[in-house]
Amino acid sequence: MELNHQTLAVINPGHSTKLRIGQKLSLSLVATGLMGQLLFWLNHTLAQALPVLVISITLISLGSLTYTWQLYRHKQPGISNDYQFTNSLTAKGSVAWVLAMMLTVFYIILYWFPQWLGLGADGQANTGLIALYDPLSFALKGKSASQWFVYGSLYTMAIDLLGIKFIWKYRHSRYQVYRTLSIIFFQTCFAFILPEIMQSLNQPYFDLKNLWPLNYYFFFDWHLDGLIKSGLFGYFLLFWGLAGFLVFTPVLTWLYGKRWYCSWVCGCGGLAETAGDTFRHLSDKSQRAWKWERRIIYGVLVFVVVMTLAVITTRLTGFRNLFIIDSGTLAHWYGFLIGAAFSGVVGVGFYPIMGSRVWCRFGCPMAAYLGILQKYKSRFRITTNGGQCISCGNCSTYCEMGIDVKAYAQKGQDILRASCVGCGVCSAVCPRGVLRLENGG
Amino acid sequence: MNILIIGNGIAGSTAAREIRRRSDHDITMVSSESVYPFSRTALMYIYMGHLPFENTKLEADDYWEKQRIRLVKGEVQSVDFAHKRVHLVNRESLSYDKLILATGSVPQTFDWNGLDLDGVQGLYHLDDLTRLETASQRGITRAVIVGGGLIGIELAEMLHSRTIDVTMLVRENSFSNTVLPPEESEMVNAEIRRHHIDLRLETELKEITGENGRVSGVVLTTGEHITCNFVGITAGVRPNVDLLRSTGLAVRQGILIDAFGQITIEDVYAIGDCAELTVATPGRKTIEAVWYTARNMGETVARNICGQSTPYEQGVWFNSAKFFTIEYQVYGSVPVSFGSGVTSLFWQHQDQKKSIRLVYDANGKILGFNLMGIRYRQEVCTKWIEAKTHIEVVLEQLELANFDAEFSECHENELRKIYHQITGKNIHKKAERSLSSVVKFLTSWS
Ligand SMILES: Cc1cc2nc3c(=O)[nH]c(=O)nc-3n(C[C@H](O)[C@H](O)[C@H](O)COP(=O)(O)OP(=O)(O)OC[C@H]3O[C@@H](n4cnc5c(N)ncnc54)[C@H](O)[C@@H]3O)c2cc1C
Ligand code: SF4
């Protein structure tokens, strides 16, 4: 026992990658861009929004891209996980905690105190950070920005820029490259640009890939009324939403596993795969975590089904207390607890501490639904290559969903787990070519 | 029955696990290295910061207690075969009804001067990693690695990850050319050099020099002197049998065992790296110091101890490794030179990072597969080899073996083209790379 501890103690001291001067410059560009936005947030009368927005986004993008380039240009294409467990940012050091705090505070402000971001109350003009994004919002939909527009812009920027970083990092693997291009495409077009353009055409906001039960408000009165009011197109969206969860989802999951959604299309998954990639190894691999995972995620699924049934009953019959509690109250609490606190604050805020897929693993009702389909009605599985496993532990370590892949691989068993999102990283990091994602069997 | 296992490597751990699966015997496993069994092959990833020691453990800590396998940390000093007792350095002793020796290997050294200097070490046990880490913290600016085997190249990659300048001394005129055919060996040379490692082929160490007890450099047989403050000795491993030499046990290089893992003394077995087969299958070695052999022997010995008499079979050879970014897999027999009835079909990607080699005999019977940067499926290759399948049939169905990730480029057609160039025969693709075809193939004509 002493020896183990000794070894760990010697291995751990903050041995981190030293940044080259060019990398420092790139990071300063990003910092300057963010600083510009922060200053504007603090005092929006300092300058005109448009130039600040354009310059800051340019700086952030340029800095991020040149940083990526410098990070990987000297490296041969291949797995680059050096220092993941010794670097302060990626090994739960002080940098990670500070980042987690900042993200969490940002989410709390976003959900519950949007006025602090500068949201104009009762039709007043925006100030602060939200005013900064007004020009972009006007350009896209002819209206001023909301906190959600700002959030969407930042979110898309994170997925796009860090997605490019991910692609560079995994440039030797076509599966990873194609998958990430798909994530970038769906986020940028389906989640960000299309809904905004639709709004500019006086259509309801609708993210085509955000399906019930992830989109828990699909059956809410205001949402259904909004769709119905929009005439034919609204009915199409209604049909799309229903077919999406009743038909497309089971069929695609049967063909390819839940990955078609979770690691190729979904925005939450998309952020986890790109911005969260640096933290994927922090997921808890213990049996205990797996037990809690099943309890919580299926609990949320039950919650969303109950809540939705109550809401629909109320809509159809006017009866409000199908499950004793008032359907409006149920919906409200679901939105607060699951929609905001869990998916946002814990889901993203805790990336640097608990890993990138906390929401997807423990909370997402869509993942729960897809997982049940994957486990019982899918051709998808990960197969192992005979007896080639050397039990090194790379696959389990880099599984963002906390699956102990090695436990299966070293016994030569296929991996068929409800939670597997099919990101393919276990297969990529395996140094002995043991794992393959497959459709069929 | 009371079963005692010395050594908790993959051989010992597998034996313990498999005996428990089959019986209710008392099982005790002693090791001087760590309480909990871990994967030695992952040492490099701990050093490079890819994963913590914790993640290299074969099982979660509570597994062993749940399985009622007693783990003892301690070093065995002597074995008293007559009284069936094992004495530990801390003066405790343990008795047994059946004893399994699974003591593994130790780094091979020669009688070079300076081996005892501070900063000179091998890479095998956990404390080698601790020593390496201590040396790295103190600051290694330049390292010399002596020996170009699989552990040597791993050590080079490790040091490289900490931006240490590395010189690698290799006795042969190309990396691992006693294991790899010339083209593959050359690919590894190139890969080593791509990582700015100073690879010195046909170079041998004469002695290691030191100052105040610390290493200061190495002298080559040519007389050249290289200044360095770390020397890694990776000139192969040898069975760890020192404990047993004086006991009258039959020891050649390793502990000699029969096909059932048993040695000449009753109720004593030897498995894994420390064991040597008295007779090997033709074309195979009596010692195959790899993970898979150790694991298979552990399984076999468990069967035999649990009354299911099963000889150890060497089976169709397979192995794998990774040379920096290039993965390597081998199935069956792949010699390092061809001719005398053994032919090979070889395709290489222009970037020198991928290749496929199929080996077959004069009658067209497939003998082996050698893959660089490409993954093939073990079950499929093994089945072809065992069934002595004709090379043309293999070529028709080659896609079945491909285990690369989805969307990766397939190069099987290139091999058919090369075969066409050599023989003038057109071979057409007859199988798809899909799991259902593979399952169909594996469950058909056996
Ligand atoms: C860095 C490295 C990388 C490797 N990579 C690969 C690879 O990629 N593929 C592959 O096939 N093989 C690889 N190998 C080889 C492989 O690890 C060995 O073949 C395998 O571990 C042998 O297992 P074993 O159980 O026989 O012995 P070991 O793993 O050596 O275990 C023996 C155990 O017995 C203990 N022991 C010995 N004497 C005593 C005593 N007197 N008292 C108490 N305990 C004792 C030792 O401390 C040790 O813990 C690698 C080896 C190293 C060092
Ligand atoms: S990464 Fe590969 S070799 Fe390592 S434990 Fe996982 S499957 Fe086995």
**CA nearest ligand 1 atom 7, residue:** B41
What is the predicted pLDDT for the residue at B277? 96
For A87-107, b where at least 16 C-beta lie within 10 A, e where not — what string?
bbbbbbeeebeebbeebbebb
A287 alpha carbon – ligand 2 mean position (Å): 19
Residue B45, ligand 1, Cβ within 6 A? no
* Strand, coil or helix: A300: helix
DSSP B43: H
Structural domain containing residue B57: 2-106+238-305
A374 alpha carbon – ligand 2 mean position (Å): 23
Contacts of B195 in chain A (CB under 8 A): 76
- Per-residue model confidence as pLDDT tens digits over A81-92: 999 999 999 999
Does residue A378 contact residue A259 with C-beta atoms inside 8 Å?
A: no
Q: For A440, which of B195, B329, B436 is closest by C-beta distance?
A: B436
Q: Flag residues of chain B having pLDDT under 50.
A: none
Residue in A194, A183, A192, A149 with CA at minimum distance from that of residue A356: A183
- Domain count across chain B: 3
Closest-lying ligand 2 atom to the alpha carbon of residue A432: 3
Q: What is the CATH number of the domain that holds B377?
A: 3.30.390.30
Is there a single domain that holds both residue B323 and residue B386?
yes
Q: What is the CATH number of the domain that holds B139?
A: 3.50.50.60
Establish if B177 belongs to a structural domain.
yes
What is the predicted pLDDT for the residue at B338? 93
Which residues lie closer than 8 Å to B273 by C-beta, 6 or more apart? B9, B11, B103, B104, B105, B237, B239, B240, B254, B287, B289, B293, B294
DSSP B66-120: HTTEEEEE--EEEEETTTTEEEETTS-EEE-SEEEE---EEE---S-BTTTSBTE
The mean per-residue pLDDT over the stretch A98-120 comes to: 94
d(CA B153, CA B175): 9
Is there a single domain that holds both residue B217 and residue B133?
yes
Establish if B115 belongs to a structural domain.
no
d(CA B336, CA A323): 74
Given pLDDT bands bounded at 50, 70 and 90, which one contains residue A347?
confident
* Secondary structure element (H or E) that encloses residue B360, with its range: strand B355-360
Establish if B271 belongs to a structural domain.
yes
Give bridge partners of residue B330 from the DSSP assignment.
B319, B370
Establish if B111 belongs to a structural domain.
no
- Strand order across the B225-227 sheet: B205-211, B214-220, B225-227
- Per-residue model confidence as pLDDT tens digits over A125-143: 999 999 999 999 999 988 9
C-alpha distances in Å from residue B62, one per residue of A392, B14, B57, B67, B71 = 19, 16, 12, 9, 11
Question: Would the CA dihedral through B86, B92, B95, B99 be positive or negative?
Answer: negative
What is the predicted pLDDT for the residue at A1? 32
Q: C-alpha angle with apex A188: A187 to A194, nearest 5 degrees?
A: 100
Q: How many other C-beta atoms can be found within 10 angstroms of the C-beta atom of residue A257?
A: 28
Task: Count how many residues are written for chain B.
Answer: 446
Is there a single domain that holds both residue B22 and residue B54?
yes
A389 alpha carbon – ligand 2 mean position (Å): 5
What is the predicted pLDDT for the residue at B445? 66
What is the predicted pLDDT for the residue at B446? 53
Establish if B25 belongs to a structural domain.
yes
| Contact between B35 and A4 using a beta-carbon 8 Å cutoff | yes
Is there a single domain that holds both residue B403 and residue B422?
yes
Establish if B193 belongs to a structural domain.
yes
d(CA B290, CA A210): 50
What is the predicted pLDDT for the residue at A43? 87
- Per-residue model confidence as pLDDT tens digits over A147-166: 999 999 999 999 999 999 99
ipTM: 0.96
DSSP B287: -
pTM, full prediction: 0.95
Q: For B405, which of A7, A77, A437 is closest by C-beta distance?
A: A437
Q: Where a domain ends, among B211, B235, B259? A: B235
Given pLDDT bands bounded at 50, 70 and 90, which one contains residue A385?
very high
Nearest CA of chain A to the CA of B197: how many Å? 13
- The overall average pLDDT reported for chain A is 91
Is there a single domain that holds both residue B388 and residue B399?
yes
Given pLDDT bands bounded at 50, 70 and 90, which one contains residue A200?
confident
Closest-lying ligand 1 atom to the alpha carbon of residue B34: 49
What is the predicted pLDDT for the residue at B74? 97
DSSP B196-238: T-EEETT--EEEEEEETTEEEEEEETTS-EEE-SEEEE-S-EE
Given pLDDT bands bounded at 50, 70 and 90, which one contains residue A17?
low
Does residue B239 contact residue B255 with C-beta atoms inside 8 Å?
A: yes
Establish if B413 belongs to a structural domain.
yes
| Contact between B405 and A428 using a beta-carbon 8 Å cutoff | yes
Pocket test for ligand 1, best of B34, B56, B103 (most atoms within 8 A of CB): B103
The burial of B23, by beta-carbon neighbours within 10 Å (0-12 exposed, 13-18 middle, 19 or more buried), is given as middle
Q: What's the longest Cα–Cα distance across chain A?
A: 72
Find where tokens 């005129």 sit: B173
CA A65 from chain center: how many Å? 21
Is there a single domain that holds both residue B441 and residue B324?
yes
Q: How many other C-beta atoms can be found within 10 angstroms of the C-beta atom of residue B222?
A: 11
Is there a single domain that holds both residue B326 and residue B439?
yes
| Contact between B50 and A439 using a beta-carbon 8 Å cutoff | no
**CA nearest ligand 2 atom 5, residue:** A391
Given pLDDT bands bounded at 50, 70 and 90, which one contains residue A328?
confident
Indicate the residue type of A8.
L
Is there a single domain that holds both residue B97 and residue B73?
yes
Given pLDDT bands bounded at 50, 70 and 90, which one contains residue A3?
very low
* Strand, coil or helix: A274: helix
Establish if B310 belongs to a structural domain.
no
B196 alpha carbon – ligand 1 mean position (Å): 30
The tokens describing A222, both together, are 């205001």
* Strand, coil or helix: B369: strand
Is there a single domain that holds both residue B231 and residue B244?
no
Residue in B251, B299, B243, B248 with CA at minimum distance from that of residue B272: B299
Q: For A441, which of B45, B403, B436 is closest by C-beta distance?
A: B436
Is there a single domain that holds both residue B187 and residue B269?
no
A63 alpha carbon – ligand 1 mean position (Å): 46
- Per-residue model confidence as pLDDT tens digits over A210-239: 999 999 999 999 999 999 998 898 999 999
Find where tokens 């603090």 sit: A42
Q: Which residue has the higher pLDDT, A200 or B172?
A: B172
Is there a single domain that holds both residue B152 and residue B246?
no
Give bridge partners of residue B211 from the DSSP assignment.
B214
What is the predicted pLDDT for the residue at A133? 96
Phi, psi of A103 (to 5 degrees): -60, -45
What is the predicted pLDDT for the residue at A441? 61
What is the predicted pLDDT for the residue at A122? 83
Pocket test for ligand 2, best of A285, A390, A425 (most atoms within 8 A of CB): A390
Is there a single domain that holds both residue B190 and residue B47?
no
Give the number of the ligand closest to the Cα of residue B123. Answer: 1
The mean per-residue pLDDT over the stretch A352-370 comes to: 96
Give bridge partners of residue A381 from the DSSP assignment.
A438
CA A359 from chain center: how many Å? 8
Does residue B157 contact residue B119 with C-beta atoms inside 8 Å?
A: no
Residue A4 pLDDT greater than 70, yes or no: no
What are the helix (H) ranges across B242-356?
A: 242-245, 291-305
Q: Where a domain ends, among B235, B263, B292? A: B235
| Contact between A173 and B194 using a beta-carbon 8 Å cutoff | no
Q: Where a domain ends, among B216, B235, B254? A: B235
Q: How many other C-beta atoms can be found within 10 angstroms of the C-beta atom of residue A420?
A: 25
The tokens describing A4, both together, are 């183990």
